[in-house]
Amino acid sequence: MAGVDLLAVRTFVTAAEAGQLQIAADRLAVTQQAVSKRVAALEKSLGVSLFTRTARGVRLTVDGQAFLPHARALLDAEERALASVRPGRRPLRVDVIGRRAATAGVLRDFHRARPGVALDVLTLPDVRAAVDAIRSGAVDASFRCVTMPGLELPDGIEATPLFDEPLHLVTGPAHEFAAAEEITPAQLAGHRVWMPGNVPGAEWSAYYDALAAEFGLTIDTAGPNFGVEDLLDTIAESSAVATFLSDRTPLVKPTVQGLRRIPLRDPTPVYPHSLLLHADNPHPALAALRDHLASRPSGHLAAEVWAPPWALRRRPPDGRTPM
């Protein structure tokens, strides 16, 4: 690994996230040929193929999937090293569960409201990694679901409940529930819900395990995770498989694919987000972030919602204890 070029690693990560070499080239402000050469040089250095080329773009190979989290860790280490000697105030570093999740949208709103605040957004593997990063000072704050079974927040780490994110069922046009205006979680008992991105030990996996146990669902995590676009392609063509997405996650070409987004009611499963940070963190932008979050409207939820009993949640305005 001593001979690995970090520029090539950054190019690989960008291409993996984009799914297309041309999109990666646009993001890096280079030519597609330059992207191809950097990836090829990295593959030669590692002695493996990282991508499979397809008509639609590129997909990670098994080796590419294995290398991706380590590649991101290399880039994070590079950024921390540079930040340690960077003159002036460093950016506020905030971890989110996913770049398409509602909390990423919250950060986008914060950036638009406070464009003068320098901001770095990253995605750590799970809540334990987020807590470790906050404790070490590698990140300043994290949006996560807490507290999952077996997790104890160390002294000095604060968790403030922020908002509940309702889930929708997403199906293709041939699915049994495709024409439904809404359904209950109980109606999904015995049905297959495919979520290949669920990683054992992560807080979102603990959440969906609890949801499956409560309502008799089958959460299928088999298969590689090629991203939400690939997942939705499979869902669109299936009459038996569905998935869960946030009510705020945009669908990819819903008209072309014929995807259906169906609200869940009685109760509505919600994913409860909290803000994690270290009480002694002196970063001046943290106060601005907390003020922005406090000014957000609480939003309207269904009368009856569900979340795991272990989940930390924001108390409703009327003071009722959350279900």
Contact 190, 169 (CB under 8 A): no
CATH number at residue 40: 1.10.10.10
Contact 91, 286 (CB under 8 A): no
* Residue 257 included in any domain: yes
Which DSSP category does 172 fall into?
-
Q: Which of 85, 110, 145 is the last residue of a domain?
A: 85
d(CA 254, CA 44): 39
* Close Cβ partners of 180 (under 8 Å, ≥ 6 residues apart): 262
Same domain for 217 and 71: no
Count CB atoms within 10 A of the CB of residue 61.
Answer: 16
Q: Which of 48, 70, 85 is the last residue of a domain?
A: 85
Same domain for 107 and 71: no
d(CA 88, CA 86): 6
d(CA 90, CA 82): 10
d(CA 287, CA 289): 5
Q: How far is CA 130 from the centre of its chain?
A: 13
Note the pTM of the prediction, 2 decimals: 0.65
Same domain for 79 and 22: yes
pLDDT for position 136 = 87
What's the one-letter identity of residue 136?
S
* Residue 174 included in any domain: yes
* Residue 307 included in any domain: no
Phi, psi of 172 (to 5 degrees): -85, 175
pLDDT for position 321 = 40
pLDDT for position 55 = 83
pLDDT in tens, the chain (323 residues): 457 889 999 999 999 999 999 999 999 999 999 999 999 999 999 999 999 988 888 999 999 999 999 999 899 888 877 765 554 467 899 998 877 777 888 888 899 999 988 888 888 888 888 899 998 888 999 998 887 666 788 888 988 888 888 999 999 999 999 999 999 999 999 888 998 878 777 888 889 999 999 999 999 988 887 777 888 888 998 999 999 988 777 665 555 578 899 999 999 999 888 899 998 888 888 989 988 888 877 655 667 999 998 888 865 554 444 43
DSSP H/E element including 141: strand 141-144
pLDDT for position 320 = 45
Look-up: residue for tokens 């995807």? 259
CATH number at residue 135: 3.40.190.10
* Close Cβ partners of 124 (under 8 Å, ≥ 6 residues apart): 95, 130, 133, 139, 142
* Residue 292 included in any domain: yes
Which CA distances in Å does 6 have to 42, 78, 200, 305? Answer: 9, 8, 29, 46
d(CA 225, CA 196): 5
Same domain for 210 and 63: no
* Residue 71 included in any domain: yes
Count CB atoms within 10 A of the CB of residue 222.
Answer: 7
pLDDT for position 152 = 80
d(CA 236, CA 240): 10
Contact 197, 172 (CB under 8 A): no
